[in-house]
Chain A
Amino acid sequence: MNQKSVIQVKNLTKRFGTFTAVDNISFTVQKGEIFGFLGANGAGKTTAMRMLCGLSKPTEGSAIIAGFDIYQETEKIKRSIGYMSQKFSLYEDLSVNENIHFFGGIYGLSKKEIRERASLLIDKLGLKSASDKLVGSLPLGWKQKLAFSVAIFHNPKIVFLDEPTGGVDPITRRQFWDLIYEASDSGITVFVTTHYMDEATYCHRITMMVDGVIKALDTPSNLKEQYKAESIDEVFFELARNAKRKAD
Chain B
Amino acid sequence: MKQFWGFIYKEFLHVFRDKKTLLLLFGLPIIQILLFGFALTNEIKNAKVAIIDNARDIGSKQIISKIEASQQFSITRFISPKQIELAFKTGKIKMAIVFPQDFYEDLMHEKSGKIQLIMDASDPNTATTLANVASGIIQSYTTTLQENNQLPININLDTRMLYNPSLQGSTNFVPGVMALVLLLICVLMTSVSIVREKENGTLELLLVSPFNAVMIILAKAIPYLIISLFNLVIILLLSVYVLDMEIKGNLILLFTESTLLIITALSLGLLISNIAATQQVAMVVSLMGMLLPTMLLTGFMFPIENMPLPLQLISNLVPSKWYYIIIKNIMIKGLGIEAVWRETLILFGMTLFLLALSIKNFKTRLA
Contact = CB atoms under 8 A, between A and B. Distances in A.
Given A56-B367, A108-B3, A89 B202 contact: yes
Interface string B296-339: 00000000000000000000000000000000000000000000
A179 B314 CA distance: 59
A15 B196 CA distance: 28
A105 B201 CA distance: 19
B208 A53 contact: yes
Contacts, number: 71
Contact of A106 (B13, B200, B206, B366): B206
13 contacts: A53-B208, A54-B208, A55-B204, A55-B207, A83-B208, A87-B201, A89-B201, A89-B205, A91-B14, A93-B13, A105-B3, A106-B6, A106-B210
Nearest to A147: B205
B322 to A, nearest CB: 37
B211 interface: yes
Given A55-B208, A57-B367, A78-B208, A101 B6 contact: yes
B200 A92 contact: yes
Contacts of B210: 75, 78-79, 106-108
B6 to A, nearest CB: 4
B13 A94 contact: yes
A239 B291 CA distance: 55
A98 interface: yes
Given A85-B205, A105-B2, A93 B17 contact: yes
A90 interface: yes
Interface in A14-59: 53-57
A56 B204 contact: no
A81 interface: yes
A196 interface: no
Contact of B201 (A81, A86, A106): A86
Contacts of B200: 87, 89, 91-92
Contacts of A56: 366-367
A101 B9 CA distance: 11
A103 B366 CA distance: 20
Given A55-B204, A87-B201, A90-B202, 9 more contacts: A55-B208, A75-B210, A89-B200, A89-B201, A91-B202, A101-B6, A106-B3, A106-B7, A160-B208
Contacts of A91: 10, 14, 200, 202
Contacts of B3: 105-106, 108
Given A79-B210, A108-B3, A93 B204 contact: no
Contact of A89 (B6, B14, B204, B211): B204
A93 B18 contact: yes
B20 to A, nearest CB: 12
A78 B209 contact: yes
Interface of A: 53-57, 75, 78-79, 81, 83-94, 98, 101-103, 105-108, 134, 160
Interface residues of B, number: 22
A103 B367 CA distance: 23
Nearest to A160: B208
User: Which 7 pairs from chain A and chain B are nearest by CB?
Assistant: A87-B201, A105-B6, A89-B201, A83-B208, A85-B201, A78-B210, A106-B211
Contacts of A89: 200-202, 204-205
Contacts of A87: 200-201
Nearest to B16: A93
A103 B6 CA distance: 9
Contacts of B211: 106
Nearest to A57: B367
Of A84, A87, A106, most B-chain CB atoms within 10 Å: A106
A114 to B, nearest CB: 10
B23 to A, nearest CB: 16
Contacts of A103: 205, 209
Interface in B186-214: 200-202, 204-211
Most A Cβ at <10 Å: residue of B3, B7, B206: B3
Nearest to A82: B208
B158 to A, nearest CB: 64
Nearest to A81: B208
Interface in B352-367: 366-367
A85 B204 contact: yes
Given A91-B10, A93-B17, A106-B210, A83 B205 contact: yes
Nearest to B366: A55
A45 to B, nearest CB: 15
A75 B209 CA distance: 9
A105 B206 CA distance: 11
Interface in B1-41: 2-3, 6-7, 10, 13-14, 17-18
A79 B211 CA distance: 9
A85 B206 CA distance: 11
A102 B10 CA distance: 7
Contacts of A83: 204-205, 208
Contacts of B17: 93-94, 134
Nearest to B202: A89
Contacts of A79: 210
A102 B8 CA distance: 10
Nearest to B5: A105
A38 B201 CA distance: 21
Contacts of A88: 201
Contacts of A105: 2-3, 6-7
Contacts of A106: 3, 6-7, 206, 209-211
Contacts of A101: 6
A89 B198 CA distance: 10
A210 B200 CA distance: 28
